[in-house]
Structure 1
Amino acid sequence: MIRLLLADDQALVRGALAAMLDLEPDLTVVAQVAAGDEVVPTARRVDPDVALLDVQMPGLDGLAAAAALHRAMPEVRIIICTTFGRPGYLSRAMAAGAAGFVVKDAPPEQLVDAVRRVHSGLRVVDPALAAESLATGPSPLTAREHEVLVAAATGRSVAELAGTLHLSEGTIRNHLSSAIGKTGARTSAAAARIAEERGWL
Structure 2
Amino acid sequence: MAALPMGERWKVLLADDHAVLREGLALLVSAQPDMEVVAQARGGREAVQLAQQHRPHVAVLDVSMPDMGGAEAAEQIHAACPEVRLLALTRHADQGYLRRMLRAGASGYVVKRAAAEALIGAIRTVAGGGTYVDPSMAGALLARVVRQPGDPSSPPRTRPALSEREEQVLRLIAWGKSNKEVAAQLGISVKTAEFYKASALEKLQLRSRTDILRHALAEGWLREDDDPE
Short-chain TM bin: 0.5 to 0.7
TM-score, normalised to structure 2, is 0.58
Alignment partner, residue 20 of structure 1: 28
Determine whether 1:131 maps to 2:139: yes
Show the counterpart of 1:143.
none
Instruction: Tell me what 2:161 maps to.
Output: none
Instruction: Find the counterpart in structure 1 of residue 80 from structure 2.
Output: 72
TM-score (norm 1): 0.66
Within the candidate set 55, 60, 66, 1:47 is matched to 55
Instruction: Quote the residue 1:100 is aligned against.
Output: 108
Instruction: Tell me whether 1:11 sits opposite 2:16 in the alignment.
Output: no
Give the superposed CA RMSD. Answer: 1.6
Q: Give the match's secondary structure for 2:14.
A: strand
What residue ranges of structure 1 are gaps of 5+ in the alignment? 141-201
Measure how far apart 1:136 and its partner are: 5.6
Q: Match of 2:37, SS?
A: strand
Q: After TM superposition, give the deviation of residue 135 of structure 1 in Å.
A: 4.0
For 1:31-180, list aligned pairs within 5 A: 31-135=39-143
State the distance in 1 between where 2:111 and 2:135 align.
Answer: 11
8 Å Cα contact 2:14-2:37 kept in structure 1: yes
The unaligned stretches of length 5 or more in structure 2 are 1-8, 151-229
Deviations 1:23-42 (A, max 9, x none): 00110001001111111111
- Deviation of 1:111 after TM superposition, in Å, equals 0.8
Give the CA deviation at 1:134. Answer: 4.3
Determine the C-alpha separation between the residues in 1 that align with 2:57 and 2:128: 10
Q: What is the aligned-residue identity percentage? A: 44
CA drift at 1:45: 1.1
CA distance in 2, matches of 1:88, 1:82: 12
CA deviations over 1:30-68 (Å, ceiling 9, x no partner): 100111111111111111110000011011101111111
**Aligned equivalents of 1:103, 1:40: Cα separation in 2:** 22
Could you say what secondary structure the match of 1:43 adopts? helix
SS of 1:24 mapped into structure 2: coil
SS at match of 2:68: coil
Matched residue type, 1:29: V
Distance (whole Å) between structure 1 residues aligned to residue 90 and residue 35 of structure 2: 20
CA distance in 2, matches of 1:25, 1:72: 29
Q: Which runs of 4+ in 1 moved over 6 A?
A: none
3-state secondary structure, aligned to 1:105: coil
How big is the shift at 1:80? 0.1
* Counterpart residue identity of residue 45, structure 1: Q
Residue number in structure 2 paired with 1:29: 37
CA shift for structure 1 position 130: 2.5
Distance 2:101 2:135 in 1: 15
Instruction: Kindly indicate whether the alpha-carbon contact (under 8 Å) linking 2:39 and 2:54 is maintained by their aligned counterparts in 1.
Output: yes
